Structure 1
Amino acid sequence: MTERVSRATTVAKLPAKLRLSNYLGYAAGDAANNLAFSMASMFLLLYYTDVVGIPAAAAGTIFLVVRVYDAFVDVVIGRLVDRTHSRWGKFRPWILLGSLPLLLASVWAFTLPTADSDAMKLFWGYVSYGVLSTLYSVVNIPYGSLAATMTQVPTERAKLATFRNVGAAATGLLLALVVAPQVQRWSSANLFAAKSAELGAGASQAELDAAQAAASAEAAAGLQSSLTTITLIFVVVGLGLYLFTFFTAREQVARPAEDSVRFGAAMRTVLRNKPLLMLCISALIMLTATLALNTLGIYYARDVLGNASIYPVLSLLMTGAIFVVAPFVGKLVSRIGKKNGYLLGGLVFFAGALILWLAPSSTPVFAYVGYFLLGAGQGLVNILMWAMEADTVEYGEWQTGKRTEGTTYAVFSFVRKLGQAFGGFAAAGIIGLTGYVGGAAVQSAEAIQGIRIAAGLAPAALALLAVLVMSRYPLTDARFKEITAETEARKAAALAAEG
């Protein structure tokens, strides 16, 4: 009888309204996550091609294979998370214990040992990135699942998603401001131009060839040293952010004591969840588009616009657009709903990517406009994507009577990882097929056009497809309120019957 009273009290207790510290703590978690994730998505391909010396197409295969592998790891971690019980809750212990290994793995990924053969270069690339991705899943799956247990209020979930996106965007901007100047400083083209000027107009071809080789070697060594230092600093910064998340982002939505779902039942719950499936398909397509764009941003600035120092400006515009959009998401959701907000974001992203493809190299202002629209569209989609994922947990509970935050988030993350795999692979594959040569002082016209296609045209087409898929998403905000009310009524009736 005591157990029944305890359960009744736990289920009936309403979660406290979230405070600013809760929102900031949740934002800090994704800011820390992206010290590893965004660092890899924005600069790891460049590191592979220009420092390690891995051909672009082969580097793209690393992203494809490891991210597909990691998509399956996500499901395993999700199941382990769903079965976790501790005095710190279900999710926060994973964040606490996994954070330092993840940050150290990021250092390793950007500090690979020197190897003479392509086989060994690829070996170290696969192993280091595989470890980094696995540890990222260990931290990110419980972190993402945490939102569904912090609150059930739709507006508060939208705010959590907004703060999460702002935290990630702030890290993206930090990376652009810190890393891009180092890319420009250690550009082989710039170093070669300086050495050529020193040789003068009468330099022989042999002298120019030697100068180019020396510039490439100096650029690789300088960029390697810079990236190692930066990632080591990020270990300290990231650990502080994770600890802040651990102490402030607490679980509040109670689960029944027996609500530990077997894998088969959890997967049946997920596969019957039509809103989750539609969201997953659209997210897969959208993530393919955004990862292709993010992977080639530094290439676009350096090789298309002719100056890597422009990249922080592009990132600032993209991030600034997210900060402009974020305060209005709550009002937008209350007026048109999350689904229509998602569709709007996808169309804005489509317009920005189209401009990026068509923008003339001689007029960077067009690229600036394109990046601002890309940031606004991507920010709106990402904010609402996370809020909608949390909503699908309630849908699954209403449909089956079982709450599976970890497994639901893991499946969603599985699909996102596939999108990331396809996006990174497509970006690297396109520039590889169109003739990009890592470390070269001058890229061919075909290679530059390949960067335009991979960073602009392909993301535009994919974004439009994602919008078409999402137009059939069935879980409106009004329907969400209905199913949560029905679920709570069932719980109350069950408790009354037990009493």
Structure 2
Amino acid sequence: MKETSTNVRPFSMKDKIGITLGDLGCCCTEQFRAMFLTVFYTLVLQVNPFHVGILMLVTKIWDAVNDPIIGALVDMRRAKKGGKFIPWIRAFSFPMAVLCILGFVNVSNLDYGFRIGYMFVTYVLYEAMYTCVNVPFGSLSSVMTDDTRQRTALSRYRSLGGTIFMTVIVMVGPLVLYDNNNQPLPGRFLMMASVCALVGLLCLQITCVWCKERVVLPVPEKKEKLHYLDIIKHVAKNRAFMGVVLFSFIGMVGASIVNGLNTYLFRDWFGDVKVMAASGALNTVYALIVFAFTQPVANKLGKKEWCVAGAGGAAIVFAFLFFFPIHNPVLFIVINGLCYLGASGMQVLVWALVNDAIDYQELQTGERNEGIMYSAYSFFRKLANAVSGSFSSFALGIIGYQVSEAVQTTEVVNRIWKTYTGSYVIGYGLAALVLFLLYPLGKKKTQEMLEQLKAKRAANAAK
């Protein structure tokens, strides 16, 4: 039976800002690496894109395998005075920040084999520490409140953290990391990694103070053995959970490949990597619009409905661009931004969809297992990152991108455009189709589920 702690203050704006800062803290290291680590490996360390792809594929898949293990350890830990999830975030955010910085040390003077070895060690260790922070943080919102509107608000505020970071880094990164000839400045990568790591560490420590765990599960007097395989079976039978997992997986693969190629698109297709800063400025406006209107639109249309319509519409626009390329970067930035408005529900509401899937699990089995369910979801997110990060590197190798050349051939440049737009179409289009066909919790079904769950909890409490 679930209980609500009365020893902490009521849910407030402080919790919302805390969850925003937590996501910002995670994004400061993870998204910075996602945007610039491949660029650093290829253009600064001069590592073959195929080798970068293999490195990311192997290490990310291994890291994804670790996620359910960390989730199980989190679930088995008794909630203490500091909470069940917050102590993990507080402790592991320090080594995560250090390893983010070490990943951008310029070791290009080392032999090629030693460069690969250094990349492998720093990559694996960082991902292990990030897992120990991100799995508990992902589970945190489910124990901060059991009110559906407050959970939607937390999902919205959480997405704001990533939006803030992406807005700033897209504006500042291109202006700081490259010279006037579009060539990377190695020392600037380390400098920005250090700033991002320290800001991320500060944000996560504030999250540990401002976010409060209120929903607790009573611990049985006799410690029972965790039937891990049984829980995995239940998760596999959860249609809502599998729907949001596949939706997120496919969408993330498409979006991550696009993000991985973003720098090369502006550097080689448009011929000016610094114009990416204009995209960051425009995204500030779009981010404010998304933040203001996502929740009322989702309340009106339904979370599933909004995600399907927005992502599907964006895929149609990029299908047109695939066949009719444009060379004006400003026009592209405007069109891309409008598509972001449409597809924003896919990014902003996914955490609310996961929480609804956890409720669906509780309705089916009587158990929530937030840590394992979130870590299972995180496993597929990490797997998506592994595949997509590798695919963007493999794509560069396949299209013939030469890391030692300042200027690419016309044929290679044209292939960058086709790969970029095609990845967007396939990723977002298939994601929208999967959510529409598989995920059962539309607006009406979600409300019915919550009413049934409320009655079931009341009946259990009366026993």
1:121 aligns with 2:115: yes
Q: Which of 282, 287, 306 matches 2:247?
A: 282
CA offsets 1:35-60 (integer angstroms, 9 cap, x no match) = 11111110011000011111112212
Q: Which residue in the other structure is 2:166 paired with? A: 172
**Of 319-328 and 50-59, the range deviating more from structure 2:** 319-328
Q: Which residue in the other structure is 1:71 paired with? A: 64
CA offsets 1:62-89 (integer angstroms, 9 cap, x no match) = 2222221111111111111111222111
- Equivalent positions of 1:130-209 (< 5 A) are 130-185=124-179, 189=181
Q: Which of 234, 237, 241 matches 2:199?
A: 237
Specify the structure having the higher radius of gyration (Cα).
1
1:428 aligns with 2:401: no
Cα contact 2:245–2:377 (8 A) shared by 1? yes
Q: Which residue in the other structure is 2:348 paired with? A: 383
In structure 2, what is the Cα distance between the partners aligned to 1:108 and 1:352? 40
The 1:421/1:298 distance shift into structure 2, 3 A limit, reads same
Q: Which residue in the other structure is 1:252 paired with? A: 214
Cα contact 1:356–1:370 (8 A) shared by 2? no
- Equivalent positions of 1:2-41 (< 5 A) are 10=3, 18-41=11-34
Q: Which residue in the other structure is 1:393 paired with? A: 358
> 1:449, CA displacement in angstroms?
2.0
Q: Which of 93, 106, 114 matches 2:87?
A: 93
Q: Which residue in the other structure is 2:304 paired with? A: 339
In structure 1, what is the Cα distance between the partners aligned to 2:377 and 2:291? 23
> 1:411, CA displacement in angstroms?
0.9
Any gaps of 5 or more consecutive residues in structure 1?
1-6, 191-218
1:81 aligns with 2:81: no
Cα contact 1:36–1:103 (8 A) shared by 2? yes
Q: Which residue in the other structure is 2:278 paired with? A: 313
Q: CA RMSD in A?
A: 2.3
The 1:359/1:230 distance shift into structure 2, 3 A limit, reads farther
Q: Which residue in the other structure is 1:224 paired with? A: 186
Q: Which residue in the other structure is 1:302 paired with? A: 267
**Of 171-180 and 395-404, the range deviating more from structure 2:** 171-180
4+ residue segments displaced more than 6 Å:
12-16
Q: Which residue in the other structure is 1:494 paired with? A: 460
Q: Which residue in the other structure is 1:108 paired with? A: 102
CA offsets 1:205-256 (integer angstroms, 9 cap, x no match) = xxxxxxxxxxxxxx56xx2211112222223322221111111111122323
1:58 aligns with 2:54: no
In structure 2, what is the Cα distance between the partners aligned to 1:285 and 1:352? 18
The 1:384/1:124 distance shift into structure 2, 3 A limit, reads same
Q: Which residue in the other structure is 1:474 paired with? A: 440
The 1:298/1:67 distance shift into structure 2, 3 A limit, reads same
TM, length-normalised to structure 1 = 0.86
Cα contact 1:155–1:330 (8 A) shared by 2? no
Q: Which of 405, 411, 427 matches 1:440?
A: 405
1:43 is paired with a residue whose SS is helix
In structure 1, what is the Cα distance between the partners aligned to 2:56 and 2:288? 30
In structure 2, what is the Cα distance between the partners aligned to 1:491 and 1:305? 57
Cα contact 2:298–2:306 (8 A) shared by 1? yes
> 1:399, CA displacement in angstroms?
0.7
CA offsets 1:396-419 (integer angstroms, 9 cap, x no match) = 111111111111111111111111
Q: Which residue in the other structure is 1:196 paired with? A: none
The 1:374/1:417 distance shift into structure 2, 3 A limit, reads farther
> 1:92, CA displacement in angstroms?
0.4
In structure 2, what is the Cα distance between the partners aligned to 1:123 and 1:156? 46
> 1:351, CA displacement in angstroms?
4.0
> 1:359, CA displacement in angstroms?
6.5
> 1:471, CA displacement in angstroms?
0.6
1:42 aligns with 2:7: no
> 1:356, CA displacement in angstroms?
5.6
In structure 1, what is the Cα distance between the partners aligned to 2:326 and 2:296? 38
Q: Which residue in the other structure is 2:449 paired with? A: 483
The 1:112/1:72 distance shift into structure 2, 3 A limit, reads farther
The 1:291/1:12 distance shift into structure 2, 3 A limit, reads closer
In structure 2, what is the Cα distance between the partners aligned to 1:479 and 1:360? 42
> 1:358, CA displacement in angstroms?
5.4
In structure 2, what is the Cα distance between the partners aligned to 1:111 and 1:496? 60
2:402 is paired with a residue whose SS is coil
**Of 466-475 and 106-115, the range deviating more from structure 2:** 106-115
Cα contact 2:169–2:280 (8 A) shared by 1? no
> 1:112, CA displacement in angstroms?
4.8
> 1:355, CA displacement in angstroms?
5.9
1:471 is paired with a residue whose SS is helix
> 1:270, CA displacement in angstroms?
1.0
In structure 1, what is the Cα distance between the partners aligned to 2:376 and 2:231? 10
Cα contact 2:101–2:190 (8 A) shared by 1? yes
Cα contact 1:92–1:142 (8 A) shared by 2? yes
2:349 is paired with a residue whose SS is helix
Cα contact 1:356–1:455 (8 A) shared by 2? no
Cα contact 2:307–2:343 (8 A) shared by 1? no
Cα contact 2:29–2:197 (8 A) shared by 1? no
**Of 326-335 and 233-242, the range deviating more from structure 2:** 233-242
In structure 2, what is the Cα distance between the partners aligned to 1:351 and 1:377? 11
2:54 is paired with a residue whose SS is helix
> 1:292, CA displacement in angstroms?
0.7
In structure 2, what is the Cα distance between the partners aligned to 1:304 and 1:177? 19
Cα contact 2:54–2:390 (8 A) shared by 1? yes
The 1:14/1:243 distance shift into structure 2, 3 A limit, reads closer
